[in-house]
Structure 1
């Protein structure tokens, strides 16, 4: 298929990021890795914000890059850790965050059921009150087959961000893939991006959906829940641990929910999926595969009186057709922006790759809007796809 280019669409999308780019032009890039001070392990999806208003998150290896003038300060934060603010003039290549400590003062038995129901009620209130709010998200999906990168998908979406990402509408994207023999892609994951709409809160009716969400009225039917409190000396967070009960055979989450003790706002949900399956296109045939490993990390910003999704990372591994497949994605809230006239996007029925292909590809737009730093392997794959002119073809 020929490569289609529509520069008007690319220029229109660029309006979303014009202010961000104007700010960035006044400083130099600070590149660093964020790690756990206790273990030294990298912290993916940590939040990075400059005093001038620019922001990004760390990639899957804990690295970030942000533009900042020497006179600015930069705050690095991650839910469950003490935030760090440093002057850009004293920036180092490593930022270590201290984990929050368990609060020994909270030794009294807290009513777990009351806490869970309070979190559910507050989340529903926020979602109802902010049901019309929309923002712009950046999405990146990297797919591997037997360790080889075979697929790169990047896109910008308009979506509702409160508590969960919903009603995603494609603004602009790019897609490229190769097969194991580097001539034809044997598979693609057309609806994997719907994992970024992972729901945590159910409606007021008894649960009747396929997946078991942790925040539903009859949660005790499916989960055992534990509770602990952590603090950094100023802020206290409740950590609710949802463990699936024995014998639950449907898709379910094994996760920890971080909740601000004062506002009852959800700040983070991290864990794994159990009994999960993935649908992909293998040799032009839809194939359902059992997932070997599925992990996720949803981080929220508690600003403006509600929990707004700031980032979400998902990793899924499975076997299909004798091939070991691994898909890694991230979604990052880049803020408000102009909505393009692309129309509403039907998530579970449309083919995202084909929709991107019809939009066309502008290499200059993507060079200017990386947003989240790539890992060396992701960078190598993107450069290879660009060199072979594979972006914009499906």
Structure 2
């Protein structure tokens, strides 16, 4: 049986209501997301793999596994192809058609070779080309969020815990500016507080393109300042590609600034994938003039997403900044000090925002920034990024036992601050 079509005349109010409903439905459909969860493991040892890059093929979407190998990733729809890569393992691709169950992604260990032809000046050529690529890529800006966590231990016991969500502007070599979205700080009265330590993360970069006398590894002065050794080429699943070069570096004996570390460079595209450096140069001082930091060791660890194509620019995945030192004071026992930080970048895109990003300054005070935003316990309880980068249970327990978590330390004997 066929029913006749009956024309309906909509009033202006009804038309506006129908249009609004249509727009809402379209907006809801446009923002619908599929949440993928899973774990990345070593195919041979079955152990979880931390900080593995998980990207979505053909898009700029991506994330990294946490310290337990776990990850979450929102995608617009399924099916999707995930590109999974880690420096010491073979890159793999996985076709995902359903989000009903958590994914288990397995990576096989990559072979490492050292061809006889790739010796001598070869590591210097790679570093020079990586520097030139950074100069080119540095023009691309990224906008997103970053989760910063800092844990301080004095004499082995946790004394500070700071967590911040930044809105962040960055490029292919550093953070350019931040503005705080949420923050919290917990601590106990002790001999020293590192309440301004984030400046070492927010000010550090791979190179300074404006300096012709730079002591950075990636600079025009690499040969004059550094000794390089090619440790090997980490081969990928595709044997036709050049692989990733692992290069150890150390400042030459005649250079006063001491530094050593390892850089991983894509031997085909010259993209820096990871940079790890240690130096005894720590510029911080204590507000207590009788306190000194001896035997300091600063370490910076920066990792970048793998570029979607040879010419694409890849954003930061994470940054780790750490300090170990001995705190000395006349007439008192020497205390070992450790400050560990992790900055995890997420929701990164190339779309500019109108947020007021501020460059890091030695005048910055972390606690002042945290106090400038109202503490919201629910934000931290329900934040998936915080949950996926779990802190050691014993650290949380130590602060909760003292009733200090989520509070501010109003009085502290001394503080460590960057030296001007």
Say whether the fold is shared (TM-score over 0.5): yes
Would the alpha carbon gap of residues 378 and 176 (structure 1) be closer, same or farther in structure 2, given more than 3 Å must change? farther
Summarize the alignment of residues 78-97 of structure 1 with structure 2, pairs less than 5 Å apart.
78-84=86-92, 85=94, 91=102, 96-97=106-107
Q: Give 1:318's match in structure 2, choosing from 307, 322, 325.
A: 325
Summarize the alignment of residues 1-394 of structure 1 with structure 2, pairs less than 5 Å apart.
30=38, 32=39, 34=40, 36=42, 43-48=49-54, 56-59=63-66, 61-66=67-72, 76-84=84-92, 85=94, 91=102, 96-103=106-113, 107=117, 109=119, 111-112=121-122, 113-127=124-138, 129-130=139-140, 132-179=141-188, 183=189, 186-195=192-201, 197-203=203-209, 205-208=211-214, 212-227=215-230, 228-234=232-238, 235=241, 236-252=243-259, 254-269=260-275, 271-277=276-282, 279=284, 281=286, 288-292=293-297, 294=299, 296-303=301-308, 305-321=312-328, 322-334=334-346, 335-336=348-349, 344-372=358-386, 373-375=388-390, 377=392, 381=396, 384-385=399-400, 388=403, 390-391=405-406, 393-394=408-409
1:32-64 alpha-carbon deviations (Å, 9 max, x no partner): 4x55556777643223457899754334x4342
Retained in 2: the 8 A contact 1:191–1:348? no
Deviation at 1:124, TM superposition (A): 0.5
Would the alpha carbon gap of residues 96 and 352 (structure 1) be closer, same or farther in structure 2, given more than 3 Å must change? same
Would the alpha carbon gap of residues 379 and 362 (structure 1) be closer, same or farther in structure 2, given more than 3 Å must change? farther
Q: How far apart in 2 are the matches of 1:27 and 1:203?
A: 39
Would the alpha carbon gap of residues 110 and 255 (structure 1) be closer, same or farther in structure 2, given more than 3 Å must change? same
Deviation at 1:246, TM superposition (A): 2.3
Retained in 1: the 8 A contact 2:251–2:258? no
Q: How far apart in 2 are the matches of 1:56 and 1:382?
A: 29
Runs of 5+ consecutive residues of structure 2 not aligned to the other structure: 1-27, 329-333, 410-420
Q: How far apart in 1 are the matches of 2:352 and 2:174?
A: 18
1:148-168 alpha-carbon deviations (Å, 9 max, x no partner): 222222222233332222222
TM score, norm. by length of structure 1:
0.74
SS in 2 for 1:359: coil
Q: Choose 1 or 2 for highest CA Rg.
A: 2
Retained in 2: the 8 A contact 1:135–1:159? yes
Would the alpha carbon gap of residues 194 and 339 (structure 1) be closer, same or farther in structure 2, given more than 3 Å must change? farther
Q: How far apart in 2 are the matches of 1:375 and 1:42?
A: 14
RMSD: 3.9
SS in 1 for 2:131: helix
Retained in 1: the 8 A contact 2:201–2:319? no
Runs of 5+ consecutive residues of structure 1 not aligned to the other structure: 1-18
TM score, norm. by length of structure 2:
0.70
Which range moved further: 274-283 or 221-230? 274-283
Would the alpha carbon gap of residues 386 and 237 (structure 1) be closer, same or farther in structure 2, given more than 3 Å must change? same
SS in 2 for 1:151: strand
Would the alpha carbon gap of residues 382 and 192 (structure 1) be closer, same or farther in structure 2, given more than 3 Å must change? farther
Would the alpha carbon gap of residues 56 and 323 (structure 1) be closer, same or farther in structure 2, given more than 3 Å must change? farther
